[in-house]
């Protein structure tokens, strides 16, 4: 398993290389580890990857049954982010992690919308971690999956999460993600950091 | 001005040092630059700093006048984060950036709570960047400020932001931040990444 420090060193190397590279495909991507039977190894250090955005769909606004009732903090592994920044494309080996975070239960919580009050006002604040998911792109390893992306969950509960995970069946995640096929199955419209990179600002 | 790559290299160095250091105060912190007349230089590369959480207090839930109606994406400069991770304390030179992000206006937006509909449900999704703020701790440079923290804004509008900023008057930000004096003026309770570091998980 390649940990956080190696990933960061990889990013520094990639960023330096980008100055002189003519073929960006040569950039090194830190792909996940896999077990002998093909399960993926859980990412480590992902809270120090590059954060790209956090959608929030509270249960209270979705008939009590939101697909993701928590904040989802989404992070891109640094070498994959550097590649995207340089090329606008997701390389094979790209890892995008999504950590679920419960809405903090503060004062005067409102059942109609799920918000609570804190010193800065009524709204939504991040409480406890509640789950970890990962998507990986690899058109060689996962040649039959749409865009080469597979999706994993390391548990929908408080840490510690599972150390390995099996891929979800294709249809279970692509039922939604196929809506973003035009942007290589990543919901770029919800991630301002990615849009800024694409627009060069 | 010390840019993103240097900051990352600094972090790698700090992380390596942490293995053998007996006095964590020796860790190198990447502090901001200042102009000759004392204005702070805007951070660069802060979207690649360590994300710690994103509060959201929509205008619609705050009588139309929330102090911060946008998402606020909060990031800690990597060397300061490494120091906090190792010691539980904010070092002199610590930089914490807050980027404001408008709520994306999707389908079926609800005026009573400010949420909108997207493929994953009704809720709040990050739209366009709308402002950049920074807080810096330095008990030497800002000896008269509570905890040594000063607060800056580089503009409450779309990028590009201002390149420098003057500190806010003490009372304008500490009116709220004094509520977090017990946690060195950082609202740790809203930042699960910081709480996890404190709790060692």
Lowest-confidence range among A128-132, B21-25, B180-184? B21-25
Half-sphere exposure (CA, 13 Å, Cβ side) for A76? 26
3-state secondary structure of B92: coil
* pLDDT band with cut points at 50, 70 and 90 for residue A171: confident
* pLDDT band with cut points at 50, 70 and 90 for residue B2: very low
- Listing DSSP states for A87-126 in one string gives HSSPPTT-EEEEEEEEEP--BS--TTT--EEETTEEEB-E
The alpha-carbon gap from A117 to the nearest alpha carbon of chain B, in Å, equals 9
What value of ipTM does the predicted structure carry?
A: 0.86
Question: Where in A54-94 does DSSP place strands (E)?
Answer: 71-76
Does B8 score more than 80 pLDDT?
no
Interval B173-197 mean pLDDT: 92
Q: Torsion angle of alpha carbons A143, A144, A150, A156, nearest 10°?
A: -150
Note the pTM of the prediction, 2 decimals.
Answer: 0.87
Average pLDDT, chain B: 88
Q: Which residues pair with A151 in a beta bridge?
A: A135
* pLDDT band with cut points at 50, 70 and 90 for residue B26: low
* pLDDT band with cut points at 50, 70 and 90 for residue A201: low
What are the residue boundaries of the structural domains of chain B, listed by start?
A: 1-29, 31-198
- Which tokens go with A34? 């896999």
Residues in chain B with CB shorter than 8 Å from the CB of A120 are: 55, 57, 66-68, 176
Q: What is the CATH number of domain A31-198?
A: 3.50.70.20
Interval B107-151: pLDDT, tens: 999 999 999 999 999 999 999 999 999 999 999 999 999 999 999
The alpha-carbon gap from A121 to the nearest alpha carbon of chain B, in Å, equals 6
Cβ atoms of residues B74 and B98 within 8 Å: yes
The alpha-carbon gap from B37 to the nearest alpha carbon of chain A, in Å, equals 28
Which residue out of A97, A99, A124 would a mutagenesis test of the B interface target, given it has the greatest number of B Cβ atoms within 10 Å? A124
pLDDT number for residue B128: 97
């Amino acid at each position: 398993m390649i940990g956080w420090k190696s990933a960061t060193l990889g990013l520094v190397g990639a960023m330096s290389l980008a100055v002189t590279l003519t073929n960006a495909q040569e950039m090194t991507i830190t792909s996940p580890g896999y077990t002998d039977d093909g399960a993926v190894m859980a990412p480590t250090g992902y809270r120090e990857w590059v954060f790209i955005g956090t959608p929030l769909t509270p249960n209270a606004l979705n008939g009590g049954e939101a697909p993701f009732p928590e904040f989802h903090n989404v992070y891109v592994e640094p070498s994959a982010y550097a590649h995207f920044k340089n090329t606008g494309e997701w390389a094979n080996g790209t890892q995008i992690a999504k950590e679920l975070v419960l809405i903090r239960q503060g004062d005067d919580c409102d059942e109609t919308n799920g918000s609570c009050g804190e010193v800065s006002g009524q709204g939504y604040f991040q409480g406890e971690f509640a789950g970890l998911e990962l998507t990986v792109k690899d058109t060689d390893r996962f040649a039959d999956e749409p865009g080469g992306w597979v999706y994993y969950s390391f548990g929908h509960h408080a840490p510690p999460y599972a150390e390995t995970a099996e891929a979800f069946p294709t249809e279970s995640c692509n039922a939604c993600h196929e809506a973003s096929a035009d942007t290589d199955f990543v919901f770029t419209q919800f991630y301002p950091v990615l849009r800024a990179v694409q627009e060069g600002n």
